Amino acid sequence: WRRPHEAWGERFRVAAGALPAAAMSPSVAELLLQRLEREPPGPGGGLCSLEAAAALGLDHQTLVGAVKSLQALGEVIEAEARAATRWELSAEGAEVLRDGSPEVRLFRSLPADGLPQSDAMVSRRGPQGWGGVHSQGGYGSQGYKYEWKVEEARKNLLRTHTTSASARALYHLACQDKFTPVKYFSIDRVFRNESLDATHLAEFHQVEGVVADRGLTLGHLMGTLRQFFTKLGITKLRFKPAYNPYTEPSMEVFSYHEGLKKWVEVGNSGVFRPEMLLPMGLPENVSVIAWGLSLERPTMIKYGINNIRELVGHRVNLQMVYDSPLCRLDV
């Protein structure tokens, strides 16, 4: 429940002699150097970057940027990274302090004459249900046998795939009094904090389809995919076993690209795992098949675009937008 709280900063001093020429208006580097001048030189003196940023009314990251560029000039300043740690209660720890441990909370919530375990798990939709499945198993699963932490699960993220939205939609479906079959789709933005290059951006779009009904099979998923891709003008398909943590069986979908003369991956799909669906409260004989693909990749393949920045973002060439023909896929 406790975790170290880290704060780090850099201490720096001006080296004797070297100072760059003054610029027209005071840059961050200039302001920093001016402040540093006032500090005593030598190992004992110097400034802490966190304090300096606060005093100058600057964002710490901006100040660090200035420090790095000054360091790049040569022997102008010396900087040394330091870390300070202290212990503090994590969110989960604070919760336990306030409400008691999960064991205590479960104990307190049970009625005097008890409750069958399956009811206790299903009636508590949410953390109790998933925590149990992940840590010890349940719903016919061995479980993942690790310590599931609610604090970790509650961390806010920009979603990396639209499956998170599908999961929410399925949860609302499960909350209905009576189950009705559904077919959902979404086409929306996703985010990845990865290194950027010609084919990767921090944000792009995904297309996702979901069918929830009783008695769905892998054959149904393949048939649905075949019709879906036919509408996109892709007919030659092959399916390959794959792995996703939340689907089993899982399949990667490949199509034959006449131009590149090879099979390329066009999508990913699978049947959602019971460990995901049953804690939501969906009936046991309901299966959910789902598939997804990115928008940008097939578009780039179809139009022969090599750099994703030509397709998304502010650097798109407006002339390309003015001149583009109709997009006719299934003709």
Partner 1 sequence: MPTVSVRRDLLFRALGRSYTDEEFDELCFEFGLELDDITSEKDIISKEKGEGKAEGASDIVLYKIDVPANRYDLLCLEGLVRGLQVFKERINLPRYEKIIPAKGEGQRLIITEETAKVRPHAVAAVLRNITFTKERYDSFIDLQEKLHQNICRRRALVAIGTHDLDTIAGPFTFTAKAPPEIKFKPLNQSQEYTASQMMDLYRTDSHLRHYLHLIENKPLYPVIYDNNGVVLSMPPIINGDHSKISLNTRNVFVECTGTDMTKAKIVLDTIVTMFSEYCEKPFTVEAVEVILPNGKTHIYPELAYRKEKVKPELINKKIGISETPSSLAKLLTRMCLKSHVIGNGNNIEIEIPPTRADIIHACDIVEDAAIAYGYNNIQMTIPKTYTIANQLPLNKLTELLRLDLAAAGFTEALTFALCSQEDIADKLGTDISTTKAVHVANPKTAEFQVARTTLLPGLLKTIAANRKMPLPLKLFEISDIVVKDPSKDVGARNYRHLCAIYYNKSPGFEIIHGLLDRVMQLLEVPPSEENGYVIKATEG
Q: Which phi and psi (to 5°) does residue 255 adopt?
A: -130, 155
The candidate with the shortest Cα–Cα distance to 9, out of 57, 59, 74, 64, is 64
Q: Which of 1, 171, 239, 246 binds partner 1 (CB under 8 A)?
A: 239
Of 86-94, 100-108, 109-117, 181-189, the window that binds partner 1 (rule: CB under 8 A) is 181-189
Quick check: 179 binds partner 1 (CB under 8 A)? no
Considering the complex, what minimum distance in angstroms separates the CB of residue 176 from partner 1? 14
For the CB of residue 172, give the shortest distance to partner 1 in the complex, in Å.
Answer: 13
Under DSSP, is residue 158 helix (H, G, I), strand (E, B) or coil? coil
Distance of CA 271 to the CA centre of its chain: 21
Choose which of 137, 179, 232, 294 interacts with partner 1 (CB under 8 A): 137
Strands of the sheet with 262-272, listed across from one edge: 182-191, 203-214, 286-294, 262-272, 247-257, 237-241
Measured CA to CA, the distance from residue 187 to residue 205 in angstroms comes to 7
Single-letter amino acid code for the residue at 66: A
* Binding status of residue 281 toward partner 1 by CB under 8 A: no
- Give residues 53-112 in contact with partner 1 (rule: CB under 8 A): 59, 61, 85
Q: 223 is written with which tokens?
A: 């048939």
Does position 327 interact with partner 1 (CB under 8 A)? The reply is no
- Does 314 bind partner 1 (CB under 8 A)? Our answer is yes
By three-state DSSP, how is residue 135 classified? helix
Among 211, 280, 286, 290, contact with partner 1 (rule: CB under 8 A): 211
Residue 125 or 220 having the CB closest to partner 1: 220
Q: How far apart are CA 328 and CA 253, in angstroms?
A: 22
With CB under 8 A, what is the number of residues at the site for partner 1? Answer: 66
Please tell me whether residue 172 binds partner 1 under the rule CB under 8 A.
no
Task: In whole angstroms, give the CA distance from residue 272 to residue 129.
Answer: 17
Strands 237-241 and 247-257, bridge-based pairing: antiparallel
Member of 213, 297, 305, 310 binding partner 1 (CB under 8 A): 213
Is residue 291 within 8 Å of residue 206, measured between CB atoms? no
Q: Which residues are at the interface with partner 1 (CB under 8 A)? A: 4, 59, 61, 85, 137, 140-146, 156, 158, 181-183, 189, 191, 193-196, 201-203, 211, 213, 215-220, 222-224, 226-227, 238-243, 245, 248-251, 271, 273-275, 287, 289, 312-319, 321-322
